[in-house]
Structure 1
Amino acid sequence: MIVSVHIPKTAGTSLREALEENFGERLLLDYGDRPLAQGAAAEEQRARSAEEARTRSADILRDYDAIHGHFLAAKYDVLGPAARFATFFRDPATRVLSHFGQWQRLPHAPNPIAARIGSGELDVFGFAALPEIRDLYRTFTSDFDLDRFTFIGITEEYDRSIELFNAIFGTGIATRESNIGPEQSNGAETDADVLKRLRELQPVDAKLYDLALKRFDRLCEQFL
């Protein structure tokens, strides 16, 4: 069972479409948890969703070959050794720029942070410093050791990452680039001082990204 954690703005939409083509009805899409939503109601909803995954674990293993969506990795730890975790990482500075730009264009998204961006209350640095954004990688991966992930992809090396994904999981998914906006470049035209400051605002996720790069290189050496 492939458990693919879609961290926002790391090429997860492209991967989702490729997985849909490859697995069809054997792919479970899980986008209801809203991991960035704060407050008691959101936490209770995620707790109910996690409990449902626990009680339905046997059915999930029977009915699906892959899961993909915005959820915390720990949710599907209940699948036991059958769960093979996968995720993509992206340079945290350019990921934040992409995320901020998306919510600038969607000020009425179902998240109060988007409204604060749309009103001008939050600039990109304030956005990067929010606890739920600053520690986003650690949150989505449930602070698992990255060795728990059978596959680690790097957005900046998407085609090679898909080649690695296919080699590890025996799939034949195609490369594609979906949900690409003008702010989703590699950051080359963004001021270097801006990128540096954004990384400094996310020290934990910057460290996780560096570890992900090393894990990716080791996996490429092993499988490619």
Structure 2
Amino acid sequence: MKIVFVHIPKAAGTSLKEAILEKVGDDNLYFDYNRPLAKTDLHRKACCLFSSVTARPSAEAIIFGHFLAGKYARFNGCYFRPRKKIDYAVFLRDPLQRAISHFFFWKRTVIDGHRVWKRFCRENWSLERFLLSEEHTNFQAKFLWRFPLSQFSFIGLTEHFDDSIKMLGRVFPLLNDLPVRADNSNPQNTVGASYEIDPYLASEFMRRNKLDYALYGQAEKIFSAQKSKFLKAGL
């Protein structure tokens, strides 16, 4: 079994990555961190389309990283479809909470070669500037461009992290009992905790990120249905 794991920044992916590495080892894991959202919209989509034709999953059991979901899929002219014998997985997070966490991560981290981060530092973006920037609008939806959420074999939610990890192990036995630690969380905010900001800014963020909120709402329904399925099975 091959698993393509799309790591959306600040959706608990770093903790998961370290746990998977410890569980399966280097020989069964391939990292692909090409920072697609550091590219312009046109460049990002063009690269994804090109890679969907040229990229071939390697012998590793799991591909994990920051890449558009369609990179390791087939494009049918309208949408990307899963390749045979490959399962796709992703963690999503409440859009506002993910974005705020991303802001604080950028404040405390040096990201070499990232054009948007360089501008963020040069112009000393405020939280409001960051949240309302075009580069971070519908951020999660950009990672899933033309790759329907229904095609993922597993969808985890950061807000339900512990349950998600348990369910991940049920869907993929290879990843059962992962030794997860929240290594990359904000020191002042634990995994799953909520940030609070000005209500007007939160409202404006929601207005601008309708695609992300629709995506997250769909993910919640899928997650709830999958959890109920496992509960009924006594798992």
TM-score (norm 2): 0.81
Identify unmatched segments of 5+ residues in structure 1: none
**2:213 alignment partner AA:** A
The equivalent position to 2:180 in structure 1, one of 175, 183, 188, is 175
Q: Structure 2 vs 1, CA of residues 187 and 194 (structure 1 numbering), >3 Å: closer, same or farther?
A: farther
The equivalent position to 1:65 in structure 2, one of 61, 64, 68, is 61
**1:6 alignment partner AA:** H
Query: Is 1:17 matched with 2:18?
Result: yes
The equivalent position to 2:222 in structure 1, one of 201, 215, 220, is 215
Aligned length: 217
Distance, in Å, in 2 between the alignment partners of 1:93 and 1:44 is 28
**1:165 alignment partner AA:** L
Query: Is 1:147 matched with 2:150?
Result: yes
Distance, in Å, in 1 between the alignment partners of 2:137 and 2:168 is 27
Distance, in Å, in 2 between the alignment partners of 1:115 and 1:196 is 27
Aligned to 1:36, what secondary structure does the other structure show?
A: helix
Distance, in Å, in 2 between the alignment partners of 1:183 and 1:114 is 22
Q: How does 1:46-61 map to 2 (within 5 A)?
A: 50-54=52-56, 57=57, 60=58
Aligned residue for 1:30? 32
Q: Structure 2 vs 1, CA of residues 5 and 103 (structure 1 numbering), >3 Å: closer, same or farther?
A: same
Aligned residue for 1:203? 210
Aligned residue for 2:72? 76
Q: How far is the alpha carbon of 1:138 from its aligned partner? A: 1.6
**Structure having the larger proportion of residues in helix:** 1
Aligned to 1:81, what secondary structure does the other structure show?
A: coil
The equivalent position to 1:162 in structure 2, one of 148, 151, 165, is 165
Distance, in Å, in 1 between the alignment partners of 2:195 and 2:105 is 19
Q: Structure 2 vs 1, CA of residues 210 and 46 (structure 1 numbering), >3 Å: closer, same or farther?
A: closer
Q: How far is the alpha carbon of 1:8 from its aligned partner? A: 0.5
Aligned to 2:159, what secondary structure does the other structure show?
A: helix
Query: Aligned Cα RMSD in Å?
Result: 2.5
**C-alpha distance after superposition, 1:130-168 (max 9, x if no partner):** 333212212211232211011110101111100010011
Distance, in Å, in 2 between the alignment partners of 1:204 and 1:43 is 17
Aligned to 2:153, what secondary structure does the other structure show?
A: strand
Which stretches of structure 1, 4 residues or more, deviate above 6 A after TM superposition?
40-45
Distance, in Å, in 2 between the alignment partners of 1:21 and 1:107 is 25
Contact 1:128 1:201 in 2 (8 A): no
Deviates more, 1:126-135 or 1:34-43: 34-43
Q: How far is the alpha carbon of 1:48 from its aligned partner? A: 6.3
Q: How far is the alpha carbon of 1:45 from its aligned partner? A: 6.2
Identify unmatched segments of 5+ residues in structure 2: 75-81
Q: Structure 2 vs 1, CA of residues 177 and 129 (structure 1 numbering), >3 Å: closer, same or farther?
A: same
Distance, in Å, in 2 between the alignment partners of 1:69 and 1:108 is 16
Distance, in Å, in 1 between the alignment partners of 2:221 and 2:50 is 35
**1:174 alignment partner AA:** P
Q: How far is the alpha carbon of 1:192 from its aligned partner? A: 4.2
Distance, in Å, in 2 between the alignment partners of 1:77 and 1:42 is 15
Distance, in Å, in 2 between the alignment partners of 1:208 and 1:48 is 25
Aligned to 1:152, what secondary structure does the other structure show?
A: strand
Q: How far is the alpha carbon of 1:53 from its aligned partner? A: 1.6
